[in-house]
Amino acid sequence: MTSNSPLKELGEFLKTRRGELSPRTVGLPDTPRRVPGLRREEVARLASISTDYYIRLEQGRLQPSGTVLQALVRVLHLSDDQRDYVFELAGRDATRPRRRSIQKVQPQLRRLLDDVNFTPAIVMGRRLDVLAWNTLAAAMVTDFSQIPDKHRSYVRILFTDPAMRTLYDNWEAVARLSVAMLRMDAAKYPQDQHLASLVGELSVRDEDFRTWWSSHHVTAGSVGTKTLHHPVVGDLTLDWDTLTAGTDPDQHLIVWTAEPGTPTHDRLRVLASWAASTNVNASAT
C-alpha cells in the first residue's frame, strides 16, 4: 500500500469517491463547480456528521464507527466490495504487524486440479499469486513453471509479459480488474511487505498500473466472462468462476469453462491434445 496506515488509505479512498460523484446523484442541485464531485460539507451533511469530523476522516486522523461507515457507504453509493474494503481499512490495527507464512496449495485443491482434464484451472493465493495450475491452464495462458516463485503473481504477469496484451481481447479490463482485486488484498494485509514491493515495482514500471492503483477501485472479482485470442486454437470465450477453499479462505480455485457444443468447448479439447503432445506441464504436486 502507498499510504502510511489503513486510516490514511481510507481517507484517500473517501476523497477519491467523493470526487467521482455528481451532486445530482445524491439529490443536490447540479450547479457549476470549480472541481468535480461533492464538497466535504455536503458529504458530512448527508451522512449526519460534522464537517470537521469528516475532514479528519479524509486526513486519516480518525477511526470511524460502524454507524458512520454505514452512512458513508450510503451517501457515496459504494458497491458491496467497496463497503467491505472501507470496513476492512477502518477496523485494521496498523500497529500490530502480522506474519504471514508462505502459502502452499491445499491438497484437496491439488487433487481437483489433477482430475480436471478439459477445464483450465489455477489456484490463486494472496497478492494474486499463482500457487498451482493444471496442464490446460498452462497451455492456455502461459507456462507458469518458467516464472520464478517470487514473480508468479497473476497481476505481475499481466503487466510484465507482453504476450498477455495480445492474448486477452480486452487486456485493459482484465488488468484493471486485477489491480482492483490487489487493492482488496492490500486492505486485508497492510503489513505485507511482499505486496508493498509488488505495488512499488509495478508503479515504477507501468504507467497504467500507477494510474489505476491511484484510482482506488476495489472488487472481489469472483465471476465473469473473458475472450482470449489463443495463438494455437484461435478465439476462446470462457466463463470464469471462483471457488474458495474451506481450509484456507485465502486460496481460490479459478476455473474457465465453456458451454457444451460451442466452438470454445471444442477448442479446449483441441488445446488439451496439443498440450499433451508438446509436454506442457502442470505445477508440481
DSSP-H helix ranges across the chain: 6-20, 40-47, 51-58, 66-75, 80-91, 107-115, 135-140, 154-160, 163-167, 171-188, 193-205, 207-214, 263-277
Rounded Cα–Cα distance for residues 273 and 277 (Å):
6
**Residue percentage of the chain with pLDDT more than 70:** 94
Question: Lowest-pLDDT range, 96-100, 217-221, 259-263?
Answer: 96-100
Instruction: Say what the pLDDT of residue 192 is.
Output: 82
The closest alpha carbon to 268, from 253, 285, 255, 281, belongs to 255
Single pTM value for the model: 0.71
pLDDT tens sequence across 86-138? 988 988 433 334 445 677 777 767 777 777 788 999 999 999 999 999 999 99
- For the beta carbon of residue 126, count every other beta carbon within 10 angstroms: 18
Contacts (Cβ under 8 Å, ≥6 apart) of 78:
17, 72, 86
Contacts (Cβ under 8 Å, ≥6 apart) of 217:
176, 179, 180, 183
107-277: CATH architecture: 2-Layer Sandwich (3.30)
Q: Residues 42, 28: contact at Cβ < 8 Å? A: yes
Contacts (Cβ under 8 Å, ≥6 apart) of 99:
none
Residue 176 clears pLDDT 90, i.e. is over it? yes
User: What's the whole-number mean pLDDT along residues 51-67?
Assistant: 91
Domain ranges within the chain, ordered by starting residue? 6-91, 107-277
Rounded Cα–Cα distance for residues 47 and 74 (Å):
8
The closest alpha carbon to 140, from 120, 114, 155, 161, belongs to 120
Instruction: Say what the pLDDT of residue 248 is.
Output: 87
The closest alpha carbon to 241, from 228, 221, 252, 255, belongs to 255
- 153: which strand partners? 129
Residue 159 clears pLDDT 50, i.e. is over it? yes
User: Half-sphere exposure of 55 toward its Cβ, with a 13 Å CA cutoff?
Assistant: 5
- 252: which strand partners? 124, 244
Phi, psi values for residue 208, rounded to 5°: -60, -45
User: What's the whole-number mean pLDDT along residues 186-200?
Assistant: 84
Place of cell 487493492: 183
Q: Does domain 6-91 have CATH number 1.10.260.40?
A: yes
Q: Do domains 6-91 and 107-277 have the same CATH topology?
A: no
Residue 179 clears pLDDT 70, i.e. is over it? yes
